[in-house]
Chain A
Amino acid sequence: MRDFLAWVQASALGVAIRESGVWTYAILNLFHILGVATLFGSILILDLRLLGFWRRVPLAALSRATIPLAKVGFAIAATTGVGLLSTNATEYVGNPFLLIKFPAIALGLVNVWVLSRLPAWRAHVERDLTAREHRQLAVMGGISLASWLTAVAAGRMIGYW
């Protein structure tokens, strides 16, 4: 872990960010927050719908709007996150919140991967789902919400360790 973080810090990216002026970290941080807000905000709406909120809003309509937004948010958060980490990566050796955050993100992504392969999910754009399929998707929504909530909470706490 320490070796990996030291390598990230010594990378060309880390060097470039450290040498690029006193506002760089703050601006990266700003875009990281915008990315996280976009990702979490859109995921929250979709997950709550899967868990049974707003039953009268068609799931297909919500997923069409929220999923591309979540992808954009994730891309922004992930790229700026790598940048933030590389500025001073060794600072985070032994930070317990980092060890909660990254597995939580991994779980969230695995959940996305599994969901995208579920017959119930694939069917939601074509037809009404059965009660059983709704329950299946609700479980996926619950896991998603738990993992992203944990990732955001642990991410915020990294700076307070």
Chain B
Amino acid sequence: MQKQSIRFSLSLFAAFGLVAALSSPVAAHHGWGGNADQETTLTGTLAAPVSLAGPHGTFKLKTADGQVWDITLAPPARTAGAGLKEGVIPIGATVTVRGHRNKTTNRFEMKTEHVTWNNRTFEVYADRH
């Protein structure tokens, strides 16, 4: 029985390891690993309002070429703390964002550090340059 138990524990750990190994390349809203190292700046109009409901603040930005970007902000409390609360920026307003876009070229999503609107800058990730 003892030997069997050890073998079973080992296979359990192997299963955990397999899950971890298979899942490490995928990263979207947790961490910055799935985002490009260099910064991108985008200017466009607010296509969907700032939402502070989920794990991160979000909004949508439509650039001049018609592409709609998913803008990911800091977690809600931190985004609100930077002054970027729901309803502050009106739909259609011109907004400039700076951050790190998703590494996958056909995923138009950007983790955003700075949001500029109407001469105001919201540093949602103030500790990141």
Contact = CB atoms under 8 A, between A and B. Distances in A.
Interface of A: 17-18, 22-26, 29, 51-53, 55, 87-88, 91, 149, 153, 157, 159-161
Contacts of B77: 22-23, 26
A103 B5 CA distance: 29
B53 A157 contact: no
B119 interface: no
Q: Which of A53, A153, A160 has the most CB of B within 10 A?
A: A160
Contact of A157 (B4, B5, B26, B52): B26
Given A25-B53, A52-B4, A55-B1, A149 B30 contact: no
A147 to B, nearest CB: 13
Contacts of A153: 19, 23
B28 A29 contact: no
Contacts, number: 52
Interface of B: 1, 4-5, 8, 15, 19, 23, 26-30, 51-55, 75-77, 79-80
17 contacts: A17-B53, A18-B51, A22-B77, A22-B80, A25-B53, A25-B54, A26-B55, A26-B76, A26-B77, A52-B4, A53-B5, A53-B8, A88-B51, A159-B55, A160-B23, A160-B30, A161-B28
A55 B23 CA distance: 35
A88 B56 CA distance: 11
A53 B52 CA distance: 47
B19 A159 contact: no
Contact of A26 (B1, B29, B75): B75
Given A52-B5, A159-B28, 11 more contacts: A17-B53, A22-B52, A22-B76, A22-B77, A29-B55, A87-B53, A88-B53, A149-B15, A159-B29, A160-B29, A161-B26
A42 B4 CA distance: 22
A44 to B, nearest CB: 9
A56 to B, nearest CB: 11
Give 5 closest A-B pairs by Cβ, nearest first. A22-B76, A18-B53, A22-B77, A88-B54, A153-B19
